Amino acid sequence: MEAIVRRVGMASPSISMRKCAAARSQPSRSAVGARPSRVQASSASSGANSKKSQPVVEHLLLLRIDPDEVSSADARKCIENLWSLQYQMGGVICSSAGESDPKKAKSGLEGDVSQYTHAVHFRFPARAQLDAFLSSPTVQKMQEEEIAENCVGAASLSFESSIPEDLFAIFRKGQDWEEGFDHAVVIECESEAEAGSRARGMRDFLEVNQPSMEECGVQQLTFGTAVTDGNKIGILMRFRNEYDFDYFTNSALYTKFIGAGGSRSLSAVTYGVGAQQATRNL
């Protein structure tokens, strides 16, 4: 998929759990639903979870569709066709897709952020399944047709990560995963060395601040340097509801985790999943 996508520009003390919880004056736990006991967050080499973890490979496809050139119905059909590849090909653990909420496009990110209108996410158990998926003629044909016909820009990125060994979390199945918000971020650094150093800093930050990040609304977090284009870092966050997304992405925890400044470019897409999906329950 990386080969066929047109490359465009990618666009101190931690907060304690008590402070974060006290600051949240809006809806109660009963209003937003009980969260898992701890945030399902990790990177490929993170030691943040003592619980046994399951390796995964995340693939992000960010798309820019011009609403003046493509109708909302055609845009929705394009995204559905790409998303439905999970049913035509083996090896996909789970997938999500949607239209970016323009009000949440930048969230708490600083500086210029490349705006994409849609995103598709696929999760694989290992690189072998990802490579087989990307090299499939079926996938390549679908990608070429849909992107060429509907998109004025696109970018893709794959990264290795891991998730605590919980089947519901890995497959995103069950009541806790029926709806929410996916927040995908791509950070482009000046060099592979800088990206590696930055990813290590993110892992260190997660180890110290994971309980606070969970308390502030992060349901699941995966991140890592790209398997190709090693100067990029991919991040995927899941939130159970809009309030949790807004609260965390406007917090100091988010800014410190992402890292303010020092990036060549940033790209972000935020879209609803399930009942939060504005256009269709994908």
Q: What is the pLDDT of residues 198-211, one digit of tens each?
A: 999 999 999 999 99
Q: Is the pLDDT of residue 266 over 90?
A: no
Q: Please report which confidence band the pLDDT of residue 106 belongs to, taking 50, 70 and 90 as the band edges.
A: low
Averaged pLDDT for residues 159-175: 94
> pLDDT tens for residues 8-39?
333 333 333 334 554 454 444 333 444 443 45
Domain 39-276 has CATH 3.30.70.100: yes
Q: Is the pLDDT of residue 111 over 90?
A: no
> pLDDT tens for residues 81-102?
999 999 999 999 999 999 998 7
Q: Full-prediction pTM beyond 0.85?
A: no
Least confident of 112-116, 173-177, 238-242, 267-271: 112-116
Averaged pLDDT for residues 173-189: 93
Q: Is the pLDDT of residue 256 over 60?
A: yes
CA distance 51 to 169: 13
> pLDDT tens for residues 195-248?
999 999 999 999 999 999 999 999 999 999 999 999 999 999 999 999 999 999
Q: Please report which confidence band the pLDDT of residue 50 belongs to, taking 50, 70 and 90 as the band edges.
A: low
- Going from N- to C-terminal start, the domains of the chain cover 39-276
Q: Please report which confidence band the pLDDT of residue 109 belongs to, taking 50, 70 and 90 as the band edges.
A: confident
Averaged pLDDT for residues 168-189: 94
CB 228 within 8 A of CB 134: no
Residue that wins the pLDDT comparison between 20 and 66 = 66
